[in-house]
Amino acid sequence: MRSIWRTWDPELLRDVSAVAAGAAVSGASFGAISTGAGLAWWLPVVMSLLVFAGGSQFMAVGVITAGGSPAAAVLAGLLLNVRHLPFGLAVGDVLGKGLLQRLVGSHLLIDESTAFALAQSDPRKAKAAYWSCGIVVFISWNVAVVAGALIGQNIGDPNAFGLDAAFPAALLALLLPVLKDKTTRHAALLGAAIALAATPFLPAGVPVLFALGGLLITARQKVQA
């Protein structure tokens, strides 16, 4: 573990902080929306600590608010989180070798930590980027959820501040170095087109999984080579 802290450089921390700030605003809004929907203040807090996947948490609370059953809420949330399995297959090596590192590191597997790890070419830097992003976002997200749950409805709509643009822009910036590779770029573009085309017809979370169809491009190119 010690080597991770040594490789934390100021630039990485600054980038991670930008993502964490966005997560904090989003977390505060999640806490406020949950208590506004009638949940006890501690329920969104426990949920954020144990689930730690913002999209699925908003989705689950949204299903309940719309009158859905707890089972429907869980199912909708889980559908959104299936993508973590391929994420873990891709960046599983950066967690570290020990069992404890595997168990704790897996809980920090989120879109942002995956993107931070993918953005690094050197494995040591990828490990530092993954862990620092995971830890800093975990802390800021959960502290903000507690604050939002206690303060309640007066937070306002975070999208008025353009928060919904910050998340995809951050991911896009992290992906740009990997997208320089032509095959990867073509697969990503085809995958995004499939996901967008599927969005009107499928439940949330599934269109993104369909994007894996974009990988067919890489298979074809390898056969040709």
Site for another protein in 141-200 (CB under 8 A): 159-176, 178-179, 183-184, 187-189, 191-192, 194-196, 199-200
Closest CA to 198 of 182, 180, 214: 214
Q: Closest distance between another protein and the C-beta of residue 43, in Å?
A: 6
Q: Closest distance between another protein and the C-beta of residue 147, in Å?
A: 19
| End-to-end alpha carbon distance in the chain | 41
Interface stretch with another protein, choices 9-17, 139-147, 148-156 (CB under 8 A): 9-17
Burial of 12-43, coded b for 16+ CB within 10 Å and e otherwise, reads beebbbebbbbbbbbbbbbbbbbbbeebeeee
Position 207 contacts another protein (CB under 8 A): yes
Greatest extent of the chain over all pairs of C-alpha atoms, in Å:
59
Position 107 contacts another protein (CB under 8 A): yes
HSE-CB of 39 using CA atoms within 13 angstroms = 28
Q: Closest distance between another protein and the C-beta of residue 153, in Å?
A: 17
Residue 200 gets which letter from DSSP?
T
Position 9 contacts another protein (CB under 8 A): no
What is the per-residue binding string for another protein in 35-54, x denoting contact by CB under 8 A? ----x---x--xx--xxxx-
Q: Closest distance between another protein and the C-beta of residue 10, in Å?
A: 12
Residue 201 gets which letter from DSSP?
T
- Nearer of residues 53 and 137 to another protein, judged by Cβ: 53
- Nearer of residues 82 and 139 to another protein, judged by Cβ: 82
Query: Residues binding another protein: what is the number (CB under 8 A)?
Result: 92
Q: Which residues does 16 contact at the CB level (< 8 Å), separation at least 6? A: 116, 129, 132, 133, 136, 137
Q: Binder to another protein among 111, 133, 144, 145 (CB under 8 A)?
A: 111
Position 33 contacts another protein (CB under 8 A): no
Q: What is the DSSP string of 151-175?
A: H-GGG--GGGGTHHHHHHHHHHHHH
Q: Closest distance between another protein and the C-beta of residue 31, in Å?
A: 13
Closest CA to 140 of 21, 1, 223: 21
Q: Closest distance between another protein and the C-beta of residue 154, in Å?
A: 19
